[in-house]
Structure formats: C-alpha cells, structure tokens
Amino acid sequence: MRKLALIASTALLVAAAASIALASRGTAAPKRGVADALAKTTRVTALRYAVRVQIRKDGTPLTLRIRGGLDGRTIDVHLATAGLTGAERLKGPFLYEEAPSGLVVYGRYRWLRTPVDRLPHDSEALTVLHALTPAPLLRVIGAAHLRPVGDGSVYVGPVAYDDEAVRTGLTRLTGGMEFRGLRLTVRVHNDLVHSLVLTGRTADGSSQLRITARLYAFGRPVHVTPPKPGTFMDDELPELSE
C-alpha cells in the first residue's frame, strides 16, 4: 500500500496528515447553520464515505477514487488511481496494507500486517491512512467563508489557498500542487454534512482541481473481516513497503 501511495503521488496524488478523529479546526467562522452541522458531523462515531479527487492538467484528467468507512475501532479504505488499486485496514491492534492491485508476493502474500503499537505516532503508514479519511476535508469546511443559498441546505464560499487546513490537509491529495481560487460547496441534511465539492486552479491556469465527497451511513458500525491467515506477512517486505 505504501508502494501504491508513492506511485499515485508521483502520477498525481495521495495521502497526507490529519487526525484519526474527524477533527475540524479552521481559521474562518462559517455561518452558524453549517458550523452546527460540521460540529455534529465531527462527533459522529461511525460513517462511510466516497471521495473523488480529479486534477485536469492540459485537458487530461488524473483521478483518485477513495471509498471507506470508519468507527471508533476500525478504518477501512479502498482506493484506485492510474490503473492501480489498493486497500488499507486498521482493525484492532493491527494495520493491514494490501499490495498494489492485489500483487502476490512470494507466491502467497497479499497483505503486510503491522502492530500499531510498533508504529510511531507520526509514521508514514498512519499518516497515509488518516489522510484517506474525511478529516482533511472537514477541516477545509471549518476554514471556508460560507454563506447559505436557496433553502439553507447548501452553503457556498471561498477558501484561502494558504490556510493551514488546505496546506496541511490537502497537500498530498493534490500531489503537492498548489491550487488557488478555491471554491467550496457544502450540502447539509438533518444537521449533518452529507456532501461537498471543492474546486480550484493553479496560478497559471494549466491545471484544475475538483474534489467531491459524500458522507453517509452515519452511526452505523463498520464491520471488516481481517485478511485470512496465510495471506499476510508480519515481517516487512521490500516489495510491499517501498
């Protein structure tokens, strides 16, 4: 999985820093309605989500698709980009990382299993995993200057490109590229954030960014079956980890 993240980042994108909790610290003060929905969403103990990151450079789209679920005990993430697929699972005391596109190593292993207590708090593996949750995007909502439109279930407004929430939360999702003119649209339902769209462009206008995210199944536990014994290896293999 770390190999997949490296490939994806080189081609376009993938993973960054955030909190395993759905933290949403920001510098701006959104309108009260969306602020209340954001606060309530960050307190949800379980949810599922789908995220699509697209960077269009000189008319050619490069896309990362993420789908996952999390609760207080589990994070389950699947992703696809540039013809590659992969998965990460945080289940109980272990982090499982799937080899890119189901690659079989040594004739039998598809997963690398690592005890979480052996990883430093700032490990690259956990950083990648947390970046693939909704946490960075929720932080961006907290930093945006939003106003309600229509019936008040939709909020729109700009986000400063140099805000900490953008720089630290989205930098690897965008492959380190800097996008300006950021514009955010957030849809709220039942006092929860259900979806968002973030758009922007590079300073020279050669590349455009579009991130869409959907949050659903609020409060429903995430049930994940760990990889079967014999399909994972506990010792770190160069083929999986580099």
Q: What pLDDT score does 97 carry?
A: 92
Which pTM does this prediction carry? Answer: 0.82
Provide the β-strand partners of residue 113: 96
Question: Which tokens go with 46?
Answer: 């379980």
Q: Work out the pLDDT band at 242, boundaries 50, 70, 90.
A: very low
Tokens standing for 32?
A: 């009260």
Q: What is the rounded CA–CA span in Å between residue 67 and residue 78?
A: 5
What is the tens place of the pLDDT at every residue in 151-177? Answer: 889 999 999 999 999 998 888 789 889
| pLDDT the model gives residue 185 | 98
Strand pairing of 47-57 and 60-70? antiparallel
Instruction: Parse the chain into domains and list their residue ranges.
Output: 2-241
In this prediction, residue 32 has a pLDDT band, given cuts at 50, 70 and 90, of low
The H or E element containing residue 35 is helix 32-42
Structure tokens at 14: 């993938």
Q: What are the tens digits of pLDDT across the range 101-120?
A: 878 877 788 999 999 998 98
The span from the CA of 167 to the CA of 37, in Å, is 23
Residues in the chain: 242
- In the CATH hierarchy, which fold is given to the domain comprising 2-241? outer membrane lipoprotein receptor (LolB), chain A (2.50.20)
Whether 220 shows a pLDDT value over 70: the answer reads yes
Q: How far is CA 39 from CA 118, 180, 197, in A?
A: 32, 26, 19
